[in-house]
Structure 1
Amino acid sequence: MDKIKITLYVLELEKGKYYVGQTSMPTFRYAEHIASVGSKWTKLYRAKARVVLEERLFESYEEAKLYENWLTLHWMQKKGWRNVRGGDFLKVEDYLLQRDIEHIFDVEANKIRYFVPSCKYLFGISSDWIIYVLELENGKYYIGSTKHLGKALGKHFLGKGIDWTKINKPIRVLTYFDVPMPNNYVEAKLKLLKEHVAYYGMENIRGGNFERKV
């Protein structure tokens, strides 16, 4: 299958604002923003200059959107989340945007909570079950499963997950993988759990049947 050529761009706007976008027609799209017909954000704050223009090849439009989302989050971290819009994060009202990004972006510290750059499931729902492993503070680990990886990780990193990840705060996502249907994800998760218990000790692992035992 032929790859898709997409241009990623970052626009500097009035009043210290920025916009992150993607297009297959960069000249035309930039002209739309200059004319204030590109997006709600660039209607509110006129475009001044292009500060990033990057042409890349992608396997799919979904992959390009994932990259655009991560680029948006990085510019939020760089310039302040209130000052940047792009990707799936386009709501102009700060309080609405905060609801959309709080699972992955710490608005008080102004930084990305966790970074899983190549994960195609992070900003949506997977048709298959995803098993993931978190490294936690105090030498602890957690093994979970979900179809909404971004939201599941967000709960743990927000301190709204299970007691185990509230007591032992997440440090990073160690690994994740999907279990295609109709395979049994419970068996795959149990196998991974046993391997981690054997290596790290039962007192340091939670997940599956051991989830409620703090």
Structure 2
Amino acid sequence: MEDGYFYIGQTPYLTRRIDEHKRRKAAEWTKIHKYEFLIDKFDAGLCTSKEAEALETEVTIRFMKEHGWKKVRGGNLSALDEKEIQRVMIKYRKKYAIDDDLYNVLVNELDDDMKVMLARYISK
């Protein structure tokens, strides 16, 4: 994507999907951040759609750690709304294996309303 943004996706039809991103007819993230080039691709082999989405989310989190969570979307972390991304990553920290460094960045960047909600969630 342009300006150092990244989108992680999975598809059995790579050429078609890249064309959709180029024409901004695909993911919301690629509608606001122009596609520039494919960084990498790999064959996940035969797997269920659930397994493919889990792998996509895992790669998304790895890219978030490397490039910053605000600059990457994909898998179950595709929302445009930053608050929603923070909420999901904090809530599902264990499920998505969010490490302490990324977790602390997410928590430190919460606005006051979200900090109150997090405090309530943790105290339950």
What is the TM-score with the length of structure 2 in the denominator?
0.74
Aligned to 2:79: 91
| 1:79 matches 2:67 | yes
Q: Distance in 1 between matches of 2:103 and 2:3?
A: 20
| 1:36 matches 2:32 | no
Aligned to 2:49: 61
More strand by share: 1
Following superposition, the deviation at residue 62 of structure 1 comes to: 1.1
Following superposition, the deviation at residue 101 of structure 1 comes to: 1.0
Distance of aligned partners of 1:16 and 1:60 in 2 relative to their CA distance in 1, 3 Å threshold: same
The match for 2:11 among 20, 23, 40 is: 23
Aligned to 2:105: 109
What is the TM-score with the length of structure 1 in the denominator?
0.44
Q: Distance in 1 between matches of 2:103 and 2:72?
A: 12
* TM superposition outliers: structure 1 runs of 4+ over 6 Å: none
SS in 2 for 1:85: strand
Larger Rg: 1
Q: Distance in 1 between matches of 2:19 and 2:79?
A: 22
Aligned to 2:110: none
Alpha-carbon contact 1:17-1:45 (below 8 Å) kept: yes
Where do 5+ consecutive residues of structure 2 fail to align? 107-117
Q: Distance in 1 between matches of 2:10 and 2:51?
A: 12
Q: Distance in 1 between matches of 2:55 and 2:123?
A: 27
Aligned to 1:137: none
| 1:49 matches 2:45 | no
Q: Distance in 1 between matches of 2:104 and 2:5?
A: 19
Q: Distance in 1 between matches of 2:22 and 2:11?
A: 15
More helix by share: 2
Following superposition, the deviation at residue 161 of structure 1 comes to: 7.0
Following superposition, the deviation at residue 107 of structure 1 comes to: 4.5
Alignment identity in percent? 25
**Equivalent residues in 2 for 1:1-214, closer than 5 Å:** 13-103=1-91, 104=93, 105=98, 106-109=102-105, 160=122
Alpha-carbon contact 1:81-1:107 (below 8 Å) kept: no
